[in-house]
Amino acid sequence: FGVRNAAGQDYDVPNQRVTNYGEIAGNSVYFSAAGAYEENDATITSCPKDFDVLVDRGAITVAGNDIQLPISGRGYLRVLYNDERVRIFSSPRDSPD
């Protein structure tokens, strides 16, 4: 189709929320999953740093119309490096069903 699809994460740090997204047909069709995150250990102030993520919603968006998906559950995130422009992370363990 000649469409360049983007994927990534959008972090709302003050509200401790994250949205993962991935385009399927450019910004006309894309999926998203969102939830709250919290740090595992507040005493750790440098990378790597672990977070729990609680996904509470998901959707496929087609031409601006959201189709809600039954997505929810707990996940994990390890931040290996971050600065103003780059984040490197991994999932250190499987998410529970």
Amino acid at the residue 15: N
Cβ–Cβ < 8 Å for 56, 73 = no
E strand segments, 4-85: 7-12, 17-23, 29-39, 49-62, 65-69, 73-82
Cβ burial, residue 83 (10 Å; 0-12/13-18/19+) = exposed
- pTM, entire model: 0.76
Task: Per-residue pLDDT tens, the chain, 97 aa: give them.
Answer: 567 899 988 889 899 999 999 999 988 999 999 999 999 899 998 889 899 999 999 999 999 999 999 999 998 888 888 877 777 877 766 655 5
**Tokens encoding 76:** 């994990």
pLDDT at 96: 54
Q: What three-state secondary structure class fits 38?
A: strand
